[in-house]
Structure 1
């Protein structure tokens, strides 16, 4: 019985694994390039605002959280233990576009769920402007670029895996042993799926450095760095996070793939 393509089964498995390893190296190289090669179109941000820090550490939803924390601390919004916000002072609509968007939304609904507010306003133009500013400064990866680079990086992985599947089908059809190739395909298929599911970290390396240099002390800055559960006031922390005795949250800046332009 002749070997498929004239290559013995064990030899093909070795070649397949080598090819897949090289494809993985290509994936990582593309992702590193994506995070390091963002060209700055504006001057780098000298000192991150609370909302810019929030965008780098937790993405769009964290930007809204930082704005809410600032408005609550300024006495313009009132947070209740059941996780709702109400307008407490209508004399000012906020000091920046995100805060004004938050105030307008809460005022329009009268009583607004914090969870719903952060979910809805994360996609607002005001939050998009914060992300776009950081993209221009080279601190965030543009979302479209991240998706395009991710697709490019996966091409060799898919190509090698497809060749392996074709060889496996041919081996099965011709009655040749395919145990080793079956195991290799199963393992590499899981790795390929994990890579596909994993997004490119939104922060560039320069953005990560900017986060490392940031000094936080004000309540809104602490929320920007760690979410509602990092607010220093226990009563406000419980109201904003919706639970008692919560511990400070961690950095989640790389949980999302890229950031959209406003």
Structure 2
């Protein structure tokens, strides 16, 4: 006579799996919808209203914004670099500089190295001001919004932990948990996708894509004649296409200033793949696809497909 083990946690497998799937679908779909709305942003109708440093922050964050300022100042002859890698002022600031330009130039007067700029108090304050302006325009996300976007992933993580624990306990008591284990796979993928939070909205990504198309002649691979361009165009080249632009424009300065040779990839490839929610919500359909097993018809040994 075969004696079946008691139901894990006193809940029959099919019942647990049915409600687990419901919770998974609600969490994944709800998180996807929330992200889709939160990451929409405000469309940019006038691309000329975005300065090079704003473009740089949206494209690569704080460090690229600093390098963009440094590129514009170098093209204007306002900064240089010693062989010992320290920045030096090369001349007065040009007209129309930004607070970040002023902070970087001030750092150069104190002999800081380029890798130290992002940690400088004046530069840090200017970067915060730059980010806050983009947040107000609906193009960037502040820390509070990014933390809010991660709450969905946190809840999915909790649900995952419950599912793993249920499967482990069920298997240790010889209860079948195959369908529950299959459900955990798409849920884990959704957790990984939702845990990635970009610093820009979809509107900013669209604006970057359009700016890259409009200014394709600034690509280092196109061998632009930087000597004929002003500081603003040089800075925009760095903002859109990375510090490879600085190496093309002034390799001696880039080497002395220890600027990394970094080329930015596709404008749409940074962190927003899950922002629209479509790919992530697809994960929920994989979960809901398990409903056929929740009725217990495909479970042996008394219907223990949920452990």
* TM-score between both structures, scaled by the size of structure 2: 0.65
Match of 1:99 among 98, 101, 107: 101
Structure 1 equivalent of residue 230 of structure 2: none
Structure 2 equivalent of residue 226 of structure 1: 241
| CA pair 68-240 structure 1, distance change in 2 beyond 3 A | farther
Tell me whether 1:208 sits opposite 2:195 in the alignment. no
Q: Which runs of 5+ in 1 are unaligned?
A: 257-262
Structure 2 equivalent of residue 79 of structure 1: 81
Which shows bigger deviation, 63-72 or 173-182? 173-182
Match of 1:62 among 42, 45, 64: 64
In structure 2, what is the Cα distance between the partners aligned to 1:73 and 1:106?
15
How far off is 1:135 after superposition? 1.1
| CA pair 134-44 structure 1, distance change in 2 beyond 3 A | farther
How far off is 1:142 after superposition? 2.5
Structure 2 equivalent of residue 259 of structure 1: none
| CA pair 114-247 structure 1, distance change in 2 beyond 3 A | closer
Structure 1 equivalent of residue 295 of structure 2: none
Q: Which runs of 5+ in 2 are unaligned?
A: 219-232, 273-307
Deviations 1:189-215 (A, max 9, x none): 7536624652x2222122222223334
Structure 2 equivalent of residue 124 of structure 1: 124
How far off is 1:98 after superposition? 0.6
Deviations 1:200-237 (A, max 9, x none): 22221222222233344511101011221123415257
Tell me whether 1:7 sits opposite 2:17 in the alignment. no
Taking only aligned residues, the RMSD between alpha carbons, in angstroms, comes to 3.7
How far off is 1:103 after superposition? 1.2
Q: Is the 8 A contact 1:228 1:237 kept in 2?
A: no
Deviations 1:148-177 (A, max 9, x none): 1321x1354134324324533542564434
In structure 2, what is the Cα distance between the partners aligned to 1:6 and 1:82?
70
| CA pair 49-179 structure 1, distance change in 2 beyond 3 A | same
How far off is 1:124 after superposition? 1.1
How far off is 1:134 after superposition? 1.2
| CA pair 228-81 structure 1, distance change in 2 beyond 3 A | farther
Structure 2 equivalent of residue 171 of structure 1: 170
Structure 2 equivalent of residue 136 of structure 1: 136
Number of residue pairs the alignment of both structures matches = 245
Deviations 1:47-70 (A, max 9, x none): 211111111111122111111011
Deviations 1:67-99 (A, max 9, x none): 10111111111135775422222x338722111
* TM-score between both structures, scaled by the size of structure 1: 0.74
Q: Is the 8 A contact 1:86 1:107 kept in 2?
A: yes
Q: Is the 8 A contact 1:202 1:254 kept in 2?
A: no
Structure 1 equivalent of residue 303 of structure 2: none
Deviations 1:5-25 (A, max 9, x none): 45336x755764564354333
In structure 2, what is the Cα distance between the partners aligned to 1:81 and 1:225?
28
